[in-house]
Amino acid sequence: MLTDPITTYQPLDVGQIAAYVHEQPALRGLLAAGALQVDEVGDGNLNQVFVVRNDPARPGLVLKQSLPWVRVHGRSWPLTLERARREAHAYEIYQHFAAEFIPRYHGFDGERYVIAMEDLADLRVWRTALNAGEPHAGAAEAMGAFVARIAFHTSDFGLPPEERKLQAAASVNPELCRITEDLVLSEPYTEHEHNWHHPALQALADDLRADADVHREIGMLKHRFLTHAEALIHGDLHTGSVMVGDGRVVAIDPEFAFYGPIGFDLGALWANAIIAAARADRLERDATFRAHVAAILPASWSAFRAELGRLWPQRLDRFYTDAFLERWVAHVWRDGLGYAAAEAIRRMIGYAHVSDIETLEEPARSSAAAAVLRAARGLLLERDRIDTPADAWARVADELARSR
């Protein structure tokens, strides 16, 4: 008989965590002797996160447990617990070639859906840092290199074709992909109960939803997302999924990981750079910080290309020439622009908005959101004619300046 996880699943609570750790020597051994202090710090939409420490002054261990529902703005719907397994699976793969770009991974409990990993207490969420006007040198470059490692080592460039196919089959993630297909690549372009925005954006939202060219292009991106199994992408690489500080840049939360188009990960980064730039512009941050944000797209793209170029001589199938690489990279670039547009649009008029914009006072909030929407629409519709990061960013900068 099938059971309903919402009624039968018993999430761990703070009081149970010390016993849970003591039952597992591999976890207990990661901490020094002494009483354990446990705090629940989850602030995302999908999970609870326990931090376990002996010494409150030193990083300890994080236990992340998925819950059988999604919760945003007090609304919720059921969601598979298996997403924790998908996240653990991604960490298991990534640690072989991108260990410096992910948290240290300590294992997965498939019965309680708990991932054990490094406590990143000394790092900050990149979005939080950008919101505060804090630059982090090297963050964009690190994430560009991270995406290049994924693009090489989980694709037919770095894996034998049989192995790549088996790995793709073991990496299907239908429920989480469905969230992206709906929330990112469908609903924002329809009248849907999930969507919301400031009333000042109504005309822009109506116009976007009525635009047949926008529908066609989002359809192209959605179809590519559904069918283009290039590599085991992170699947949700926005600035809230990146931690920075202490000389490190670390991608977290790969629960949306699946075999999809590489440009989707770059696009998520770029969209959130555009959003961060809109915030910095409206808050009139100093020129150095604004230049730092403006460099996220070009710097991540350069790092992606450089890292891929470094790995390219190691490709397994020499049938793929250097000329092929240039063509392939060009299609990743255009995908990246398209997915950046889709991610930016959904953060303005879809379901899950972002603190960069939502914590601004009016009228800055709606004016920033409007500038992001206009810039995103331009990137979406013009992407076949945008050949360089400088050109892409010039269009974003123009929209920001026009609506200032």
Q: Give the separation between CA 374 and CA 400, rounded to whole angstroms.
A: 9
Q: Is 253 or 307 the residue whose CB approaches Mg ion more closely? A: 253
283 contact choice in ligand SR1, Mg ion, none (CB below 5 to 8 Å, kind-dependent): none
The set of residues, in sequence order, having a beta carbon less than 8 Å from that of 254 and lying 6+ positions away, is 86, 87, 90, 91, 94, 102, 234, 235, 236, 241
Q: Is 149 or 238 the residue whose CB approaches ligand SR1 more closely? A: 238
Q: Is 189 or 393 the residue whose CB approaches ligand SR1 more closely? A: 189
The reply to whether 236 sits near ligand SR1 by the rule CB under 6 A is: yes
299 contact choice in Mg ion, ligand SR1, none (CB below 5 to 8 Å, kind-dependent): none
The set of residues, in sequence order, having a beta carbon less than 8 Å from that of 138 and lying 6+ positions away, is 249
Q: What residue spans of 23-82 are helical by DSSP H?
A: 25-28
Q: Is 72 or 397 the residue whose CB approaches ligand SR1 more closely? A: 72
- In the window 146-205, what residues touch ligand SR1 (CB under 6 A)? 179, 183
Tokens 């440009």 found at: 263
Q: Is 29 or 74 the residue whose CB approaches ligand SR1 more closely? A: 74
The reply to whether 45 sits near ligand SR1 by the rule CB under 6 A is: yes
Q: Give the separation between CA 273 and CA 276, rounded to whole angstroms.
A: 5
72 contact choice in ligand SR1, Mg ion, none (CB below 5 to 8 Å, kind-dependent): ligand SR1
The reply to whether 49 sits near ligand SR1 by the rule CB under 6 A is: no
Distance of closest approach, residue 236 Cβ to ligand SR1, in angstroms: 5
Q: Is 194 or 331 the residue whose CB approaches Mg ion more closely? A: 194
Exposed/middle/buried for residue 22 (C-beta within 10 Å: 0-12, 13-18, 19+): exposed
The reply to whether 72 sits near ligand SR1 by the rule CB under 6 A is: yes
Q: Select the residue interacting with ligand SR1 from 70, 204, 257, 296 (CB under 6 A).
A: 70
Distance of closest approach, residue 185 Cβ to Mg ion, in angstroms: 17
Cα-based angle 268, 271, 272 (whole degrees, multiple of 5): 90
168 contact choice in Mg ion, ligand SR1, none (CB below 5 to 8 Å, kind-dependent): none
Distance of closest approach, residue 206 Cβ to ligand SR1, in angstroms: 23
Q: Is 80 left (phi over 0), alpha (psi -120 to 50) or beta?
A: beta
Q: Note the residues at the interface with Mg ion (CB under 5 A).
A: 253
> How many amino acids of this chain bind ligand SR1 (CB under 6 A)?
7
Q: Give the separation between CA 390 and CA 404, rounded to whole angstroms.
A: 21
Structure tokens that stand for 375 in this block: 């810039």
142 contact choice in Mg ion, ligand SR1, none (CB below 5 to 8 Å, kind-dependent): none
Q: Is 253 or 265 the residue whose CB approaches Mg ion more closely? A: 253
Q: Is 70 or 150 the residue whose CB approaches ligand SR1 more closely? A: 70
Cα-based angle 36, 42, 46 (whole degrees, multiple of 5): 135
Q: How many helices (H) and strands (E) does the chain have?
A: 17, 12
Q: Give the separation between CA 237 and CA 251, rounded to whole angstroms.
A: 7
Are 266 and 300 within 8 A, CB to CB?
Answer: yes
The reply to whether 128 sits near ligand SR1 by the rule CB under 6 A is: no
Q: Rounded to a whole number, what is the distance in angstroms from the first to the last CA of the chain?
A: 60
Q: Select the residue interacting with ligand SR1 from 352, 364, 381, 397 (CB under 6 A).
A: 352
Which residues of the chain form contacts with ligand SR1 (CB under 6 A)? 45, 70, 72, 179, 183, 236, 352
